[in-house]
Structure 1
């Protein structure tokens, strides 16, 4: 969806990297995350301060190859190395389908997936809180409370194109990613904002052992991308007046309006309703426009919504992947315009 925006930016967001640059593993040996490029770290802090969606003062920035690697690093850092049994990792349903796979893929002795946070019984755990939530767009909070419990906040979608920014998030570990904030999924770059220096060091160690740091080329490109976004709001007299969050919110608002009209006409499905919230960044009041549509088949005889829609050549992800029944499916709202139009046309054929 963001291709149109960046195509129109042209040379403004282009990066040229000389052949002699970024050869070393190291960026700043005095930094806890010693492979963090200074320019990228500065632009991350600048953008969060501009948007007001996360506290970065007196916090450590740890970067990873997307939030996937950062999630694994955070779970590793929070798991006691000498515990008698693996730490339980939980998240409230519907949870992001990647959490179980990422947690159990290596069959680690340090941690294991334990399912729905609401059904968990115990005092020691790592709860993953995704807010806005993937897949249903809800603003989630931790459901467990224990002195020995730990929490990771996945805030990949806490940006003003998706939801109102009501306050700066201030949690122990907060995960963000370039892919969801700017659209550059292929850059494979994410960052964590971490309070505890010891946790930041452990996360850095995991990434260093895993991939010996993170691509500097990706960091330099992402630094330029974030700079273009911030410049668009702080210096509006630049070459182009088009700004990323305005573009994303406008396009998603139109897509959600079209989808809700079609869903209403079919009488086969339902979608979540989101409350109106005042956004401190835009100073406007609006409902959320999530990156995914959490569609429910309301017709009794349709038990597997994913298979039902597949017959119409509509690709979705079924509810079982998110810890719920197959009446639900997740549909991406972020594809190219022509693909989204095709999706709406095929869904409308059921009306």
Structure 2
């Protein structure tokens, strides 16, 4: 029997074979593209005053969360694979759990706030400045961060309070609560039940709010007489719905399955998807489906490279 003071050893996501080396380079490329894409979207929203609205402020917070999530997971994984340093201290593991759950839980509530913003914009456009004021927007955003942090702190502290068996090898590439619980020597059934309840609250409640918002939006859009207004409303909402589907699908698959049905290889693939691939897709979805972001991007490209202005405009169109 052991404890958490000696830390853990990751078995990792890849082996040292040629095929896995190619996969590692591919994953690292995706992670770098995710960082660059989200950083560029943040800069674009900050620089263009036309994007200084609650909708794009919430989008900037989503990009910030995605950047932090990638930077929490990928550097440790890359160092472990390239340099063979696959160990992590108990404190480092606790910080990984805290930040990954803070960002995941915060993003869950932030997506619900974004759906409310779209509901107000489409169903009550004349009262938008009242129902979605900057003060309310900042409060809802802060609440998303705080609720995520509370969940992360609770689960990190509870997970590391268990005794772990002497073989502290984690068949994963970062510290994730369901995976660590397999190594615990203590009875974790009570904590697993509490964690399941937390996941229901952190995932299903915001998801229910999102479904309610989009049900009301759909009813309003179907009553619109203008075809152009319908297209604009559907284009605005489709981006958010795509991000919601990617996030909630993978999160529910990881945290809301019973322990008996878990597979280490499946968990690693799904975790890699929602911590590395999804953050890269989010800025692409919003930039390709949003006319205002595309307009700001065209303006930025034209300003940075006047000689290729015409080619850039045609390409982005």
TM class, shorter-chain normalised? under 0.3
Per chain length, whose mean CA-contact separation is higher, i.e. which structure has more relative contact order (CA < 8 Å, sep 6+)? Answer: 2
- TM-score after normalising by structure 1: 0.24
Relative to total residues, which structure has the larger helix share, 1 or 2? 2
Relative to total residues, which structure has the larger strand share, 1 or 2? 1
- TM-score after normalising by structure 2: 0.26
